Structure 1
Amino acid sequence: MRKNILSSPYLFLSIGVLSVAISSIFIKWATAPASVLAMYRLLLTVLFLLPFKPWSIINKQTNLNKKDFLHLFFSSLFLALHFLFWMESLRHTSVASSMIILSLSPVFTTIGLFFFFKARTTIAKVMSLVIAILGSLIIAWGDIGLSHEALYGDFLSLLGCIAYAVHLLFGQLLVQKISGQSYSFVVFLISGILLFIYNIIFKVELISYSLTNWLIFILLAFFSTILGHMLFNICLKHLDASVVSMATIGEPILAIFLAFLLLGEEITLLQITGSLITVIGIGLFFKPQKSKRSKIDY
């Protein structure tokens, strides 16, 4: 029987990568603080999901214990930190630098899977990861700034990278008990509330923003979160966190070209070379193999 392409988690993963890649452009266009961008991105996503009554699915899933709810909180916390650090990094460094450093999340995810889940991997996959990371570093070599501000932006992106890896590891545990949609809804809601509290504590303006900024809030919610991070969460039920994290290495390549077309950021020979090497690494990592978890289950 012919396999339905819509049943493949890799299709969802590809859509997610495309959707998330453009988020850096939206953020560069915005003038609102990173904490506000992140808050509205998540809370508006929750509003978009309300018509689908995600809580009805949650009510049917009663197999969560106190430890699971604690994991939900920490997953939400680290997602909020990821958005806060990474979005702020784009205020201080280029799209290329920020996205490239963010793409190092598979390193931390793979390490986390090894230490906390005792997960094993093949030498071939480790080598493919090294090749992909090498490509990212080649891109970075020609772009990472030497100024204090650029280095600060790079550091923030690294913190966002680590926070995202931790978020994925918690998600790996939780989506085995609840659906990707339910997990996403709860995590986005808690993360949005945490960022709202952050903005209130630090007295960040919440309402007085231009129409352009409000449009960007909506675009970030729909494209970058629902068609991005939510699809990643769904894929976690069928793919290891390291695989989902590995796919995000493709984001800098797309973001660099989008930044060139829409922001006028220069593309260097090193970036082109590194991009090709990264694509090769990703291709080797996703080389077809037998797997029991190959079909999307809502």
Structure 2
Amino acid sequence: MSISHSMRRAGPAAFALLLIAAATFGARAASLTVEDDAARIVVDTADLLARPDATEVTIPADIAYGGTSRRYRAVPLTAILDLLPNRPPPGAVLEARATDGFAAQVPLSLVRPPTPGEPSAWLAIEPSDVPWPNVSGRQASAGPFYIVWERAAAGRISPEYWPYQIAALRIVEPPAVRWPEIAVDAALPVDHRARRGQEVYTAICLACHRMNGGGAGEMGPDLNRPMNPTEYFQPEALRRLLRDPASVRTWPEQKMPGYAEAELSNADLDAVIAYLAQMAAQRPVGSR
């Protein structure tokens, strides 16, 4: 394990090299970067599997593997974040960046040590000598590192909070603080549906889709530049897209999943659409 303190975040080129390295080595010895604004730590597969708190966990409904039961060698996610010397600030978020451009924004308030009856986050580690099976529709497994949850249903953990093929974990500010351009107009009433929509968008959509340039995800297009989906989809077609994308349009490289009502309630689906409409209305002039 290597540690460097007072090291600022690596630039885009350095992170791109990290992603290439992670993708190249696959199930062989892989490295994971854990960082915040002041420190950067790099651990590898062997480091993590040799930890005394590494244990076997059973995930009865694994998101990456189609809801089947899977068993992993894993370490409590809190223990990995505790490698950093500084305490995270209130409201901080864990950004989990994957090799394919996915960048989940997981509230640290959800990441807690294993507790009876409550969701518990683990970092599953793919052994170099026993690779996991490929994820459905992909030519690679969920490894080398994958955040899995015990008792996820107890806390309605978003499907996007199960990032896999992870290359880096970073403690950052909340998305709307980090990227003010994703926030709805502060003058909106406190009970405006778009406010709830912003929360849902941050949990479900921001990992892949930026908003007005704000966000870290690179898997899908920005959903307000140059146009917003509410400007070219009829409302019912947009709802259908979110429920079952392939029923609206499909192509060989399609990656967007559908969201069943158990994952995205009808009320939250309508809130996301209200948020998109609001962002279209407040898009800065000339930003198309």
Larger strand percent:
2
More helix by share: 1
Shorter-chain TM-score bucket reads under 0.3
Instruction: Tell me the TM-score normalized by structure 1.
Output: 0.26
> Highest relative contact order (Cα 8 Å, sep 6+), 1 or 2?
1
